[in-house]
Structure 1
């Protein structure tokens, strides 16, 4: 069978040929005829099986056949909801490629970019909008999007949307779109919650499934190594140092901070890697993905944000540095390799506390992972890594400003040695407030013996008097500009009123003269 036999038009056939699509994948062969007929569809297929072309190509053909004379401001004809920014960008890029000869308009919106840019994207109306649920609802609240005439709704990676907590956003969106529409629903797994959601959104749907539910790719060789959590980085370092057939490798960490730590430890051993997770800005994420895609940095350490729908060819290995505590997530992670008919290897590092996760994974996938022994020289690698001191993470200046703003105080955490605090004193983690009385050029607020108190409190250091200030600055201040003793004039006729015990002008209030 070829794409022409499926009923696709010549412009779409040309676009698919330009992307070297010659034979339809199983999901494409089954889904395209139903979509062309306007049927609702429930598709169960793993990532990397060609789902985007399965719903996008026939949908574009239907949109082109019924194009209105003009689009109203903010009007959307087809809405594709995706759980992550990266997946949304990828779907939009494919939509533009498939519809190149149909002159369809395509836009993409997601968080992490300026709201004004999203507004410009939708203001003239679009044939196809790809969006993450949160940013879409932002624009709906601003009345910048018109979904009242929506013709096609697509939910891609629906199971991850539920995992990420988008169920409430989905319910809000469905309430504001026409009941008479075509709905296409795709998921890699079929838990009960997904089945319930499909029953709620779909009307008499056609169902297609190209792989058994929740099974892992047959072409992925799956292994597991039992190792202590503290020694996983040494094992990973040895893996890259000794790997001969290692090309592009995705390393999955359970946490954002863990991903950054892995990158730093690999860097200390001379192994370049990038991290991608929710704390990274959108430009940082795009830069890391591009470096991984073009092979300039062939190691990408990720949280599960990158586990879905990111089609990066040539991923030879997936390393589960931390086993996922949700077994379905394992299926999505290792689906990043063995794509487009290639083979792949998935390796899991299992600590004693993660053994229940391993049992859940093997139960779900109905497959026992092959145990792989610790490699030769492992203990030497552990000792060598202990002697290394990775470069400390340098926070960008913008992030420092954001952190200060979020804390509600200016400054930086106190140095316990500098202020004479006990080593584990909790005040060492509090931001320094530089608005209080100062001594020797540093704030004394919150430091033992420097608290504010009543007049004459011997524990509180006294600020220098106005005369002392003048002497320290070398010379007399001009008349009207003194900032110290009583009666010192100030420009504008005001005086600084000092509170009890405030010998200097710092921290006082201005009183109208």
Structure 2
């Protein structure tokens, strides 16, 4: 996971080295080691990296190094969800040390006027979701002629969520773009085609596939009748240490609510995350989870996008996902930055064929 390459061997600006030492980062991860030198030369880079590989710093450090605190927009980063945009912006704030850059998030579900006011006060770097960036550009609050650096994070997720037309709309208006970075865990053909359309002779950085898709996670499956899944889940949660955190995946909102209700009845501290929650409820639960106040979250795939918490040691597939990509994204929530983690799948008779399919591809 980590290489022997030290950040201080790269002649980075003092501010950034200060930011790195504040969080005690000494050694680069593989994706950082492969990406940062290329990106610092101004090359376009396509990086294959999953969440938890250190990819935010892989594109963050070269972007932060090139930006000056002028209050003029120099870099735009697009992410699929508000949570991910927030996380990227938070990491940028940490990594910039004393650089003094204004880093702002732009996403839906929050007060548009407040966002506009912040932007008019001056901004150096925007981290946003495609729809709201498009909206703010049309309203005249963002000038896409201004940024020279562009980064797409979790491109495959954006494709799944139907954002590619919005992304192309944004890219076509960035007339002074000098460098583009694109990161994705998987590479459907549409992403490769789009990349060739708007990137300039990009360098591919492929973290080798074993390291990429299979973090140090132990995987288990339990054959259990549908009616006994909750009992099995309780047995798994009882094994948890005090500092452990868990994500349980269900395929429907109804199942999320039901599981939370039953877990609470048996005195497990659990919260549910699904699409019916409003943005404030969602952020409140996520913040409590990040702070370690909530130990267990039950979520649907869509709601779990962008949950990036290092303390997750257990992922449970209460329901098996429909495809391998979702499986990889789910289990990748544990085993972060080289830590150990466990992923358990509760498999009823109906799920068995799907599990065989996932195992065969994995």
Alignment TM-score, normalising by the size of structure 2: 0.92
8 Å CA contact 1:48, 1:309 repeated in 2:
no
3-state SS of 1:316 partner: strand
Which range moves more in the overlay, 90-99 or 192-201?
Answer: 192-201
- Distance in structure 2 (CA, Å) of the matches to 1:274 and 1:233: 15
Tell me, in whole angstroms, the C-alpha distance in 2 between the residues paired with 1:179 and 1:254. Answer: 43
Q: Does 1:54 align with 2:58?
A: yes
- 2:25 is aligned with 1:21: yes
- Judging by fraction of residues, say which structure has more helix: 2
Residues 254-309 of structure 1, C-alpha deviation per residue, up to 9 Å, x if partnerless? 22232122111111212120112222122212221222223222001112235444
Give yes or no for the alignment of 1:197 onto 2:194.
yes
Instruction: Determine if the alignment matches structure 1 residue 4 to structure 2 residue 8.
Output: yes
Cα pair distance change 1:338/1:77, threshold 3 Å? same
Report the CA distance between 1:30 and its aligned residue.
1.0
Distance change >3 Å, CA 229–CA 12, structure 1 → 2: same
Q: How does 1:106-125 map to 2 (within 5 A)?
A: 106-125=103-122
Counterpart CA distance in 2 for 1:135 and 1:92 is 16
Q: Is the 8 A contact 1:41 1:184 kept in 2?
A: yes
> How far apart are the structure 2 equivalents of 1:262 and 1:169?
36
Distance 1:179 1:226, change over 3 A: farther
Q: Distance in 2 between matches of 1:361 and 1:201?
A: 34
SS in 2 for 1:285: helix
The structure with more radius of gyration: 1
Classify the secondary structure of the residue corresponding to 1:347. strand
| Structure 1 residue aligned with 2:335 | 338
Distance, in Å, in 2 between the alignment partners of 1:80 and 1:335 is 22
Note if contact 2:145-2:176 (Cα within 8 Å) is conserved in structure 1.
no
The match for 2:86 is 89
Q: How far, CA to CA, are the matches of 1:95 and 1:142 in structure 2?
A: 26
Residue 216 (structure 2) aligns with: 219
Do the aligned partners of 2:30 and 2:207 also contact (CA within 8 Å) in 1? yes
8 Å contact from structure 2 (residues 273, 304) kept in 1: no
Higher strand residue share: 2
Unaligned runs of 5+ in 1: 366-513
| Higher normalized contact order (CA 8 Å, seq sep 6+, divided by chain length) | 2
Structure 2: unaligned runs, 5 residues or longer: none
The alignment status of 1:301 with 2:298, answered yes or no, reads yes
Is the 2:77–2:127 Cα contact (8 Å) retained in structure 1?
A: yes
- 1:32 paired residue among 21, 36, 47: 36
CA separation of 1:166 and 1:360: change in aligned 2, threshold 3 A: farther
Q: Structure 1 residues 198 and 352, CA, compared in 2 at 3 Å: closer, same or farther?
A: farther
The residue correspondences of 1:166-181 to structure 2 (distance < 5 A) are 166-178=163-175, 180-181=177-178
Structure 1 partner of 2:286: 289
Structure 1 residue aligned with 2:258: 261
Shift in Å, 1:19: 1.0
SS of equivalent to 1:4? helix
Verify the 8 A CA contact 2:334 2:340 in the aligned structure 1.
Answer: yes
| In structure 2, C-alpha distance between the alignment counterparts of 1:243 and 1:150, rounded to whole Å | 47
Query: Given the two structures, how large is their TM-score scaled by the length of structure 1?
Result: 0.66
Superimposed CA distance per residue, residues 333-370 of structure 1 (whole angstroms, 9 cap, x where no aligned partner): 111111122111000122333334323322332xxxxx
User: Do 1:307 and 1:336's aligned partners in 2 also have CA atoms closer than 8 Å?
Assistant: no
For residue 184 of structure 1, what is the aligned residue in structure 2?
Answer: 181
Structure 2 matches for 1:306-345, cutoff 5 A? 307-345=304-342
2:48 to 32, 36, 44: 44
Aligned residue pairs: how many?
Answer: 358
- Matched position secondary structure for 1:126: coil
Aligned-residue CA RMSD in angstroms? 2.0
Distance 1:214 1:61, change over 3 A: closer
Q: Trace 1:339-358 onto structure 2 (pairs within 5 A).
A: 339-358=336-355
Shift of 1:226: 2.3
